[in-house]
């Protein structure tokens, strides 16, 4: 299981604004800022997002490498995928593929994919078999 991810972005304020609009639809509602000066020498400032008492998604200012990262974000339903996709587009993302079944993976794999303002690939994913009671 992953504990955290750092994503390097070109305009930290723009990225904070984008992710503050999109992530809450997926239940990621915690926001936390970490001042690099409080850590070891050279530690970057971080802008964090999380849920359920954990901050696990961090943004830092720097040189982007959008082709190096693809983030799959869990949705709890097909409707949540649709909402996150629509909100991401409204917040400045560009579409890679609209919501729908990803038959090349599994007929129950429902997802949509966008590029965030820095070009990182984000996928909103609902896998029904992972949400059984």
Query: Cβ distance 124 to 111 under 8 Å?
Result: yes
Closest alpha carbon to 58 in 84, 36, 81, 37? 36
Query: How many folded domains does the chain comprise?
Result: 1
Q: Which domain holds residue 78?
A: 5-130
DSSP annotation of 44 = P
The yes-or-no verdict on residue 133 having pLDDT over 80 is: no
pLDDT tens digits along 61-119: 999 999 999 999 999 999 999 999 999 999 999 999 999 999 999 999 999 999 999 99
Query: Residue 131: its pLDDT value, please?
Result: 79
pLDDT tens digits along 47-56: 999 999 999 9
Beta-bridged to residue 5, according to DSSP, are 57
How many CB atoms are closer than 10 A to CB 49? 21
Q: What is the CATH number of the domain that holds 57?
A: 3.10.180.10
């Amino acid at each position: 299981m992953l504990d955290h991810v750092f994503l390097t972005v070109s305009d930290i304020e723009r990225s904070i604004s984008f992710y503050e609009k999109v992530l809450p639809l997926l239940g990621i509602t915690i926001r936390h800022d970490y001042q690099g000066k409080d850590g070891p020498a050279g530690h970057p400032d971080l802008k964090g997002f999380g849920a359920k008492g954990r901050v696990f998604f961090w943004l830092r200012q720097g040189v982007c490498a959008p082709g190096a990262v693809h983030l799959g974000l869990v949705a709890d339903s097909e409707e949540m995928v649709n909402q996150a996709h629509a909100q991401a587009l409204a917040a400045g993302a560009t579409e890679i593929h609209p919501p729908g079944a990803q038959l090349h993976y599994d007929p129950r794999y429902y997802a949509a994919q966008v590029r965030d303002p820095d070009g990182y690939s984000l996928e909103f994913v609902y896998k029904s078999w992972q949400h059984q009671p």
